[in-house]
Amino acid sequence: MTRADVIIVGGGIMGCSIAYHLARRGMRRVVVLERSHIASGATGRCGAGVRMQWGTKPNCLVMKESIRILEGLEQELSYPHGIGFKQKGYLFLAHSKAQLIQFQKNVQLQNSLGIPSEIVSPKDMKRIAPLLDTTGVVGGSYCSKDGHCDPFHTTRAYALAATRLGATLLQYTELQSVTKSAEGTFKLTTSAGEIEAPVLVNAAGAWSGYVASMLGVNLPVYSERHQILVTEQVERVLDPMIISLHEGLYCQQTPDGSFIMGLGDPNEPKGLDQGHSWQFLFAVSKKISRLLPDITGVRILRQWSGLYNMSPDRQAVLGAVDDVPGLYVACGFSGHGFMMAPAVSESMADIILGNTPRVAIDVYGLDRFKNGNLFYEPAVV
């Protein structure tokens, strides 16, 4: 039986970054369990966007801090390859007056928290993104400090920094069962043997509900499939991420020149299906041809899908699980876990160690589902 001080289940951005912050704060035996390889789940399948434009105060504060951290992360983690962080902005399109009014409320909130977003006219939007067809667009919101970050390399940067600080990363190691002993220790059976620790962190993304159920904990989350595609690399013609909540579409051109685009489709299956459909290629092509008609000659290279771990109010579920002392959870990110990890992981590490976190995350606690303090995020694709 191997002993650890903490075991983190899940080697995505969340598990690797929490491991780094625990190790950096002096925790000695930190173990990350990953069934496949790091960033093989939702992290490595996401749209690679990072933004401060949110509709609820906690998300704005978490993302303002995350982007501040990302600005210096290559140096902090000593990762010479780089993490592909580029601030070329996010442009939200409003297709109706009602939507624009919601954006105005969001921007007012963002500005009050020091986030440099602004309401833009269709004419401004043509200046920010000249290829954008603004037909039917009444306005939008824009923040030039939002942008792109490479999920694979950001996760690897955290994982390597954590292992340099003494953490152990067990890849291709599957969790098979967990029990809690009378002394309060978690005993895990894995494909590579048994391991025990007094603290267990559930950062298993789409599988977090399943991992919790092994301990008899019922998390109010479920998973659903979201599809995405990437094109060949072409000359850089589009700076910001374009988001149309009306079309349920997002599209950005990454620093290497390929376009990444995805849809929020209410008909996608719930559960753990990570397949894909030909219907998606037709649906996304038709939508993108309306917004960016000049890129329809670009060739699609790959399509895939990833799993959003959804919570009832589309907000993360973070912190201690009160019924099971020593158990912590970081899940339910509802499609925006990658971008929130830099700030959330630091706060999670502080909470696990009994410190006061710099960015408060108590509003994301599990107790909100008992006392009814849900806070619905309006700005999600």
Partner 1 sequence: MSSDAIICRCEDVLLSDIRRLLDSGLTTFDEVKKFSRCGMGPCQGRTCRSLVLAEIARHRGIRVQDLEPGRFRPPGKSIPISAFLEGGEEQ
Nearest approach, Cβ of residue 285 and partner 1 (Å): 3
Cβ distance to partner 1 smaller for residue 14 or 283: 283
Show the CA angle centred on residue 73, arms to residues 226 and 353, nearest 5°. 85
Q: For residue 69, state whether it binds partner 1 (rule: CB under 8 A).
A: no
What is the identity of the amino acid at 226? H
- Contact between 307 and 226 under an 8 Å Cβ cutoff? The reply is yes
- Residue span binding partner 1 (CB under 8 A) among the ranges 69-77, 91-99, 175-183, 295-303: 295-303
Q: Is 233 in the site for partner 1 (CB under 8 A)?
A: yes
Q: Which phi and psi angles does 310 have, rounded to 5°? A: -95, 140
Contact (Cβ atoms closer than 8 angstroms) between residue 30 and residue 172: no
DSSP 227-274: EEEEEEE------SEEEETTTTEEEEE-TTSEEEEEE--TTSPBSS--
Instruction: For the CB of residue 21, give the shortest distance to partner 1 in the complex, in Å.
Output: 22
- Which residue among 104, 134, 144, 303 contacts partner 1 (CB under 8 A)? 303
Phi, psi of 127 (to 5 degrees): -75, -40
Task: Work out which of 10, 41, 44, 147 binds partner 1, going by CB under 8 A.
Answer: 44
Applying CB under 8 A, does 367 fall inside the site for partner 1? no
The verdict on 260 binding partner 1 (CB under 8 A) reads: no
CA distance 286 to 290: 7
Query: Which two tokens mark 23?
Result: 């190790």
Contact assessment for residue 291 and residue 140, using Cβ atoms and an 8 Å cutoff: no
Least gap, CB of 280 to partner 1 (angstroms): 10
Q: Work out whether 297 is an interface residue with partner 1 (CB under 8 A).
A: yes
Query: Given the complex with partner 1, which of 194 and 273 has the nearer CB atom?
Result: 273
Of 78 and 279, which has the nearer Cβ to partner 1?
279
Q: How far is the CB of 44 from partner 1 (least distance, A)?
A: 6
Q: Does residue number 276 form part of the binding site for partner 1 (CB under 8 A)?
A: yes
